[in-house]
Amino acid sequence: MSAKKFTILIIPEGSHRVRRFNLRRGLLGTVLCFGLLFMVGVSLLAFDYFRVNFDRKELVRLQTQASAQQKELRRLAVRLADLRQEMVVLAQNDAKVRVMAKLAKPKADAMNGVGGPPEEDVSAGFSELQQQIDQMVRAIDLRRESQEEIQGFLNDQRSLLAAKPQGMPVKGWVTSAFGVRRDPFNGARKMHEGVDIASRTGTPVFATADGIVTQAETVSGYGKLVVVDHGYGFKTYYGHNSKLFVKVGQRVKRGEKVAAVGNTGRSTGPHVHYEVRRNGVPLNPRKYL
């Protein structure tokens, strides 16, 4: 048989007086139920308080981070705009050099008029900025290819300029020009494939362009002869020398001494017989003196 009442005894410490409380079973159950509900309510309120406080701090952190990203995004956008302007100037200079060098235009450029501040949406801003960066990378690659092409052309032109004969091979005066003339030995009309430059015996003879010596020997008619291959089809001949200062296979520079004036071979006096040939065809050396 279950009890209908419960007795609660309260004995204060150091006192002999006992307090007694009688509670009905139904009332005790109600008190316990309310107590449990109260504890659950307090726990839920505490959890909600801490959760809201955490969310507030996280929101502040995210807002600070978003603000910093916006500032960085704007800074990058400004820097990208500056780089774009520099690329435009480079493209204009590139075009000028190509016109001067008579080179074809490069591939279509991707430098369109895109720019301005980023959108407020950070993800959209970064997406557009990434597109502009990709565009800038393509433009830089295009400009690099163009610069390499121009550099190659200029190097080729520099090599051609170094290979193209220029100037007098010796200090003296022209005594016989290029073209048909009367042979000084038999009087017959004959093609003179170079020019004769008179000078004193022993006067230095210089290469008129960079190249490689392909002949340095005595040849019938030419006497002691030096032939220099300059590339691009150019060759120069220096004949009737008294001495040779170079050997076959030797690389020479414009202005380097290759021989000394003489009167060897089929010659009537000390001079240099100077020829300029391209692809084996004699050219008038006057164009290159």
pLDDT of residue 81: 79
pLDDT of residue 121: 53
Name the CATH superfamily for 173-288: Glucose Permease (Domain IIA) (2.70.70.10)
What are 158-194's pLDDT values in tens digits? Answer: 888 888 999 999 999 999 999 998 887 777 888 999 9
Among 100-114, 192-206, 224-238, 270-284, whose mean pLDDT is lowest?
Answer: 100-114
What are 199-240's pLDDT values in tens digits? Answer: 999 999 999 999 999 999 999 999 999 999 999 999 999 999
> If DSSP states are collapsed to H, E and C, what string results for the chain?
CCCCEEEEEECCCCCCCCEEEEEEHHHHHHHHHHHHHHHHHHHHHHHHHHHHHHHHHHHHHHHHHHHHHHHHHHHHHHHHHHHHHHHHHHHHHHHHHHHHHCCCCCCCCCCCCCCCCCCCCHHHHHHHHHHHHHHHHHHHHHHHHHHHHHHHHHHHHHHHHHHCCCCCCCCCEEEECCEEEECCCCCCEEEECCEEEECCCCCEEECCCCEEEEEEEEECCCEEEEEEEEECCEEEEEEEEEEECCCCCCEECCCCEEEEEECCCCCCCCEEEEEEEECCEEECHHHHC
